[in-house]
Chain A
Amino acid sequence: MTEEPAVLVRDVRKSYGELKAVDGVSFTVARGEFFGILGPNGAGKTTTLEIVEGLREPDSGEVRLLGESPWPRNVKLLPRIGVQLQASSFFERLTAKEQLRAFGSLYGVSHGTAEEMLELVGLADKADVQENKLSGGQRQRLSIACALVHDPDIVFLDEPTAALDPQARRNLWDVLRAIQERGKTIVYTTHYLDEAEILCDRVAIMDRGRVLALDPPAVLVRGLDAPTHVTLQKGLLSAVEAEAIDGVDEAREDEVSLTMSTRRPAPVLSALAERGALDGLQVRTATLEDVFLGLTGREYRA
């Protein structure tokens, strides 16, 4: 028996009137992969995800989850997928543990799993706190736990880190990594490019209903052939001196710093080290934001 990919999406389209929300999207996700769908608001990420989850019917195209079609509502498939929705969907006035038990009961899961999930998302000490008294990050983690409570093979997360403070985001990353370590396939949307770069095995960059690029983040960035920016504290070197260094393409000065762009950072950095001019050194390589800029010609705005 050959193993089907976890997710297979082939030329899916969905229009709302004139608006082509999803305009010919194709991708596959292997089992155990951490797959990110990136893009600004309105790029079609959520619609794509909802079609894949079987919540919406595509106008055309094909979707297979573990070899099965999710549309129309496929009861055989449902226990194998876990979905966290964009809003925090909870039952009224139940504690964290009761929420997990209630959602678990929809799948016939035993009560013990609730405690295990609370442990996994770091909410064990909040088990008896009502959902509306949790912080934003805690609610987000609880909703992920609710998506996992029936031990699904594929987990869909829609912007789990949106509207979280940096610390809460980082806590959540640990949770997401722990989920992947359990062998789950994760498909998630985000508009934080830096986050996707850290977490995802592969990313699909979407804009205006289309997939513009699909590769591991490092490959996308490397393929961009974008220069590396080396920044120093102002006053160590002049712009003219900087441009004379072998490998520096261009140097610019502003009130506080000197920035050089280079495609060969190694010789530039050793030249700087020789001169002892390393104060305030920052090296910024290209990021997915640069990839987005290169693909669309637009600055990335989440």
Chain B
Amino acid sequence: MTAFRTLSLAMFKGFVRDKASLFFTFVFPLLFLVIFGLLLRDAGGEKTKIALVGDGPVVSALRDSGALEFESFDDEDAAVAKVKDGDLPAALIVRGQRVDVRYAQSDQVESATVLGIVNGFVDKANLAATGQPPTYTFAAEKVEDASLAPIQYLTPGILSWGVAVSAVFGAALTLVSWRRKQVLRRIRLAPVSATSVLSSRLLVSTGVALVQGAIFIGVALLPVFGLKLSGSWWLAIPLLLLGTTAFFSLGMLVGAFTKTEEAASAAANILVLPMAFLSGTFFPVDQAPAWLRAVSNAFPLRHMNDGMLDVLVRGKGVEALLLPSAVLVGFTLVVAFLASRVFKWEE
């Protein structure tokens, strides 16, 4: 027990004193979070603004719904001129019972949206005017869909990625450098099992992952970024630990295969970087083409990402952890087994 504690402490000190690894562990992913978070802050969720002339019950209903925003004009020509100039997609002109929409042809999607909304409200007003109950009923209910605000998918994505990178690199570089410097040999000559040495390194990696999680989420929660955590955010902790273990074993495999630190970091990059892009670290993978989604299912990072997204922002419960956990545990077992087969004590 004391060997485990002293070794963990020794490795922790070694990690903390390495400025480069501190940077890549904490600052580098945070840079991505900050840059993307700020760049994409205003994207999505914005409402369409149209010109408005006149007023009436339809306009009041539209205003109440909040479906559209209005810029009021006293004069019809001025409103249409705004549409012609391309400043606004449409103008709504209300004269008593008559509701006209003048729209720009250039942006058909936006025009169709405006037309649909206005038409719907006019129909509703007509129906109400007849005093008849509707023959067909229609009910709309809000669904938590894939289209999250950017910070909501960036935070879980960058957290998973940052944890994966530092676990893979930490394990691979430690293993290679210990082999090269014959620390492994020295350990083999001591009455201590390789497992206890490895697990003390793993403990350092999981500790680092928890700190990463606290820092990244803490920053994303700042009002500038505006992350909203779901009530079940704490379920991310077991996921974080499983993910660290999985990527730690991947790092062990890389370290077992490679002979130099340079080769190990190249190999780790080749494995982790494409995985990050294809697993939804920087954009939601649901918007990707079907083939890419299929491919990304093969990556453990994709499942860690999905799990993080579900528990951190989508508010899903324990059941959302089942698949990601199963994938990560399975991945750990297979990869750790492979790593133990190719492991070499010395060059």
Contacts and interface: CB of A to CB of B under 8 A. Distances in A.
Interface stretch (A89-97, A200-208, A254-262): A89-97
Interface stretch (B30-38, B187-195, B232-240, B242-250): B187-195
B285 interface: no
Contacts of A81: 189
B251 to A, nearest CB: 16
B14 interface: yes
Nearest to A88: B181
A103 B10 CA distance: 10
Given A85-B186, A88-B181, A98 B2 contact: no
Nearest to B196: A106
A93 B188 contact: no
Interface string B1-45: 011011100110110011000000000000000000000000000
Contacts, number: 74
B48 interface: no
Interface stretch (A71-79, A121-129, A234-242): A71-79
A85 B18 contact: no
A104 B192 CA distance: 11
Contacts of B6: 101-102, 104-105
B72 interface: no
Interface string A200-221: 0000000000000000000000
A87 interface: yes
Interface string B115-144: 000000000000000000000000000000
Given A53-B189, A73-B188, A94-B13, 15 more contacts: A76-B191, A83-B189, A85-B185, A89-B186, A90-B181, A91-B14, A92-B14, A93-B17, A105-B2, A107-B190, A107-B191, A108-B2, A108-B3, A146-B186, A150-B190
Interface of A: 53-55, 73, 75-76, 78-79, 81, 83, 85-94, 98, 101-108, 130, 146, 150
11 contacts: A55-B185, A78-B190, A78-B191, A85-B185, A89-B182, A91-B11, A101-B10, A102-B7, A106-B3, A107-B190, A146-B186
In order of increasing CB-CB distance, the 6 nearest A-B pairs are: A105-B6, A106-B190, A102-B10, A89-B182, A92-B14, A93-B17
